[in-house]
Structure formats: structure tokens, C-alpha cells
Chains A and B, each alone.
Chain A
């Protein structure tokens, strides 16, 4: 294991993985409280369309992925708030449309190769120093935003209408959070891929809430165990030549099952 740590791309994978684990597990608290699991799945699938366009044009897939994911996220958010169409239906339509579009664009692309698989399921061997800088910079910004407005965001999670009547600018926090989630999804593509990124934003808080009832403990537990799962997942995937994203998500799922069983056996800790 010590030798693995000396390999540059393993180092990159670990640094990128830990940053991502912290960012996505913090976001998972809000996704859990807002019941945004399906919105999150919708955004991650929609990102694929943008990645495909960037790939087809020979330009940055990350930039196009972000544009698609943010636009889809904001559209889903707008439809959900307006309430004319049920949000599950709008998400289902938007993400399948974006996925279908992505598949056609990728198929037409002269650059078509196995990178498609990387977009969908991740490949940590491809994490570069540039990716880490981008991810690190964005994480500092996103976590700084959340820290600065934490109480107001939590108020919006409690009840948006009540928060609005208390003078909180609820649309601003709502759309900011969706934008952060959309960008984080695209930036996690190399570690776990767009399809599995949503699992890293849903499972941590859901798992922690099986054991703890208070949000501070949920947050701390989510971050701690996400780092543990990502590091363990990276080592296991290297050791046994398994896909990193799938390995990490399976570890999360296993821990979620254990947390559910623990809750049944001893109840919530506090």
C-alpha cells in the first residue's frame, strides 16, 4: 500500500477524492433535508448531454457539462417551485432527453472512443493536477458560501415559505444551492462518473441520519465516513483493478445497510 502512495496518479486520485468526499457529503445534508434525491439524479444525468457536446466539438467537456447541468438544474428548480407540472415528471423528461441527446452526439462524434465510459462511471487514472486545482478552488468557494449562509440555508430547508416571510431571500439560496450541486456533479465525473455522482450526494446524510438525529453530528459523520469510503474505495479499486466509482458507491451502500441495521439494534445515538 505504501508503494501505491508514491505513484503520482494515485496521489492525484487520493487528493481529488478527499476534496470531493468533503464537498459532496456537505451537500448531501441539504439534498437529504430538501428531499432532492431525484433532482440530483436528474442533474447528474443531464450533465452527460453537455459532456457529450464538449467531446463532439473537441472543446472542454467540463465547461459544456457544467452549462448543461446548471441549466437543467435551474429549469427543474423553476418548474418545481412553480408547481404547474409535477417535478418528478419534469425531471424524468429533462434528464432522459439530455441523456438521449448525449448518446446521439457521442455516436456522431469523430472522436468516439472509450472516454464515454469514463463520463458515465469515472476513471481516477485520468485525474490531473489541473482537475485538482479546479475542484479545490470550487470546493473552497462552495463550502465558503455554505458556511457564510448556513443558518439561512437551513431555514430554507426547514420551510421555504416561513423563511421567506422572515425576510430571507429564499429564491437566491434555492437557486444557488442547485447551481453548486450541478457544478459539483460535473466536477466529480472523473472520480465516480455522472451516473454514480448522485450516490455520493445522497447516501452520506441518509446514512448518518440513521444513527444521529442532530444535523451537526450528521454533518460531521457524513464528512468523516465519506473520506473513509473514498480512500478505501480508491485503494481497493487499485489493488483489485476494479472501477473506482462503482467500488466507492458499493462501499457507501454497504455502510448504509450497516447503519440501518445499527439503528434497528441500538436506536439513534444523539
Chain B
């Protein structure tokens, strides 16, 4: 099966500085892939290059079997940038934000409204259609933005730090929701995350990026000292919180004593 996203020998220089170098990456359909790495490691640059927002200095990007510039015209790509890139007090209702995702759809006004409402219910925001977007909590705004991404029926979605500002419990249900998207709608999810512990439990593959792609594969092999040292430097100390985490149990019982 041909990959939905393929990067070959990709190098990006911005302002004379090499941000990512010689990246080779293949992402298959219906996978959830997390791109992790330290701040400034090139995670956002990588997805912006995949989307055609940044032109690579060297190498090629192929998405949905074509160039990013042609692929975006199909409307089959969804993008959720970092929260700070979305104006918090934009004078839109919740429904207006979701309708943005259908601007290029060619549907009638009635069809657009029906579809937008359906997706708001899907993300658990039904009934809040006429509510001011700017007055929602961070987590609620994120759900509405996800509905905006999904309403155009994308085949692949890119999420940049989607769990920022969401509490840990909400994060877990958010990642479960991404699994639901993959399983029910067959969507490929590529997300940037700084939270390698939580992400490790939910994704199919992890891409460890710090200028170079140091690791790409199953999350279980990612948490090895030599991989993490390459990615984060030699002084990395990792505590993974998970329901099965024995170390956490020990830590908590020690703490209680």
C-alpha cells in the first residue's frame, strides 16, 4: 500500500539555519503518528512542510499521492495549528467556526448547517452552536476546532500540540477520540506533541525529531535510553505515568509513607 505521506531526503533551512535535515519518513493510511522531540527540534516545521506552508530547501514531499500544493486543493487535508495561532476572541459563534471548514465544499447553506451541527455533536459540543467561541474553555475551543477540521471529511489530519491547555483526564479522552477517528472514519492522524509519556500509550508510531529523525517506529521501542539521549541529550530523566506503571505505583506508595 502506498503511503499517504512520504518525505524523502527532506532538508529545511529558515533564516540561514538548518531546522530539519535529511528526513525520510513514510506514514501509512489509518495510522496515528506522534512527532515528538525537544522545543526547537523542528516538529512544527516538519508538518508545515508536509502541508506546503514551508518550501523545502532540499528533498521532496508527497501527500495523497501528489505535491502538497495540489493535495490541499482536494480539501482532504485537515490542519489544527497550535492554540496560540488561533485568535481566542474571534467574533464567531461556535457554528461559524465549524462552517469555515466547509467554505470550499460547494454544499448548499442548508447542507452546510446540517453537517456542521452533526460534527459538533460528534465532538460533544452539540447544543452550543450559537455560543460565542471566545467564551469557551480551552478544551471546548479545541473540540470545536477539531469539528472544523473534521467537517470537510479529510483523509489525513495534522494536529500541532492538540492537548495544550487540556487537563490530563481530558487528554486521555482526547486521545481515545483520535483512535475513534482512525477506526470509524479511517483518518490518518499526524500530531506534534511534547508529552511523550501519554502519547506513547495511544499512537501507532512515534517519530523522534531533533533536527534529524532519530527514531521512527512503534512506541514500545522508543523509550530506550540511547534513543532518548539522542533526542533530548544525555541528562534525560523520564518518568512515564500510565495505569500499568509499576514505578509510579512505587513512587506513590513511597510518597504516602
Contact = CB atoms under 8 A, between A and B. Distances in A.
Interface of A: 33, 84, 151-152, 154-155, 157-159, 161-168, 209, 212-215, 218
* Most A C-beta atoms less than 10 A away, residue of B87, B91, B132: B91
Contacts of B48: 161
Interface of B: 15, 48, 51-53, 72-75, 77-81, 85-87, 89-93, 96-97, 99-101, 103-104, 132, 134-135, 152, 158
Given A165-B79, A166-B104, A167-B72, A158 B90 contact: yes
* Most A C-beta atoms less than 10 A away, residue of B92, B100, B104: B100
Given A154-B100, A166-B152, A209-B91, A159 B86 contact: yes
A164 B72 contact: yes
A155 B103 contact: yes
A166 B81 contact: no
Contacts of A154: 100
Nearest to B135: A213
Contacts of A162: 79-81, 86, 100
B90 A33 contact: yes
A66 B235 CA distance: 60
Contacts, number: 76
A30 B81 CA distance: 21
Given A154-B100, A168-B104, A161 B91 contact: no
Contacts of A157: 90
Contacts of B90: 33, 157-158
A219 to B, nearest CB: 9
B79 A161 contact: yes
B81 A168 contact: no
Nearest to A205: B91
A213 B103 contact: no
A262 B51 CA distance: 44
A165 B51 contact: yes
B91 A159 contact: no
A-B interface, 5 closest residue pairs, ranked by CB to CB distance from nearest: A165-B79, A215-B91, A213-B132, A151-B103, A167-B104
B134 to A, nearest CB: 7
B152 A215 contact: no
Given A155-B103, A158-B100, A166 B72 contact: yes
Given A165-B53, A167-B104, 14 more contacts: A157-B90, A158-B86, A158-B87, A158-B90, A158-B97, A159-B85, A161-B53, A162-B81, A165-B72, A166-B100, A166-B103, A167-B72, A168-B104, A215-B92
B179 to A, nearest CB: 23
Contacts of A158: 86-87, 90, 92, 97, 100
A213 B136 CA distance: 13
Given A159-B85, A213-B132, A166 B91 contact: no
B87 A214 contact: no
Nearest to A214: B91
A167 B77 CA distance: 9
A166 B101 CA distance: 7
Given A158-B87, A165-B77, A214 B103 contact: no
Contacts of A164: 52-53, 72
A6 to B, nearest CB: 42
A155 B103 CA distance: 8
A77 B91 CA distance: 24
Contacts of B86: 158-159, 162
Contacts of A152: 103
